[in-house]
Structure 1
Amino acid sequence: MITHATQDHLKALVALENSLFSNDDFPLSRGSFSYHIKKNDLFVFIHEGEVAGYILWLKRKRYYRLYSLGVSVECRGRGMAQELLSYSFTLLKAQSYTLEVKTTNLSAISLYEKFGFAKQKILKGYYPNNRDGYLMRRQDNDETQKL
């Protein structure tokens, strides 16, 4: 089941985040999750009564930015990330969507490409330890949108 995150999910979101991301990757804090629950589109995937994944979107004037997506290690390979993305596109209506991803995260890049995201440019040194990223965008119409 996928639903909007609430403050009741906060402890589980922080635990999941800390299990997925090292300090070098700047995991979201309890305060950050609390803020995003109130101000942005944060959806959680509930599996067997527990938060098994989440997706966080930031609304901009004319597009949405995928800020973070995480699925527990135990639940990977079950299509939860795909379901979170599908659910998001059903609810969030925009002409374009963007995200940043490490150039080395091949499984995430493959997933995003399946959902119509295309690499727009290389972001040199975007991530900690001078790691490069890609800016990716999905257009939901034929018009070119300026970010």
Structure 2
Amino acid sequence: MTDIDIRPAVVDDIPAIVAMLADDALGAARESPDDLGPYLVAYERLQSDPHQFLMVAMRGDMLVGTLQLSVIAGLSRRGSTRSVIEGVRVHGSERGRGLGQQLIEWAIEESRRQGCQLVQLTSDAARPDAHRFYERLGFVGSHVGFKYQL
């Protein structure tokens, strides 16, 4: 996979990122690729925060993967800094070729570079294949997550 370039997302990447977010049953129910307005506002918020990293994986000029990494300072765990990986997606044409692992490895290494002591992520309970993937990479299913819809 050496022909993959992982770089920060630019505004022109937003349509392709949103298309990947919507490219499964869960995403199709919660994303709106036909209305990019909210995503563009969110992109600007991310760009203005130095602790947010919206990344894309490129194969040549084709966007084939994405993830968001958030770095969070905290008091717990003796004042540890942690990172949270969100929105990991790999284009359908690239699945099973190691790109997901490459993205997660990038996020772990960047977390180390940012001084984080912990990398965490959540994965929807309806995604058992993703859970096996993260466990294979060394993540441990240690907590039960809760969400409150506003």
Q: Above 0.5 in TM-score?
A: yes
Cα deviation, 1:90-146, whole Å, max 9, x if unaligned, reads: 22221101111122312211121122211122236x498xxxxxxxxxxxxxxxxxx
Aligned match for 1:96, one of 95, 118, 143:
118
Percent sequence identity over aligned pairs: 20
Are the counterparts in 2 of residues 56 and 67 from structure 1 also a CA contact under 8 Å? yes
TM superposition score normalised by structure 2? 0.71
What code does the residue aligned with 1:63 have?
A: R
Q: Tell me, which stretches of 5 or more residues in structure 1 are unaligned?
A: 129-147
Aligned twin of 2:21 = 17
- One-letter code aligned to 2:118: S
Give the alignment's Cα RMSD to 1 decimal: 2.5
In structure 2, do the counterparts of structure 1 residues 113 and 122 end up closer, same or farther at CA, with 3 Å as the change threshold? same
- The aligned counterpart of 1:53 is 65
1:10-53 CA-to-partner distances (Å, cap 9, x unmatched) read 23222322334123478883322343244211111102311111
TM-score with structure 1 length normalisation? 0.73
Alignment-mate amino acid for residue 54 of structure 1: T
The letter of the residue matching 1:65 is V
Inter-CA distance 83–13: structure 2 relative to 1 (3 Å threshold): same
Q: 1:26-41 residue pairs with structure 2 within 5 A? A: 29-39=39-49, 40-41=52-53
Is contact 1:44-1:53 (8 Å) kept?
yes
Question: What is the letter of the counterpart of residue 33 of structure 1?
Answer: Y
How many residue pairs get aligned? The number is 127
CA contact (8 A) 1:13 1:33 kept: no
From the two aligned structures, give the one with the greater strand fraction.
1
Amino acid at match of 2:29: N
Letter in 2 for 1:45: A
Partner of 1:67: 86
Task: Point out where structure 2 has 5 or more consecutive residues left out of the alignment.
Answer: 74-80
Q: Paired residue for 1:133?
A: none
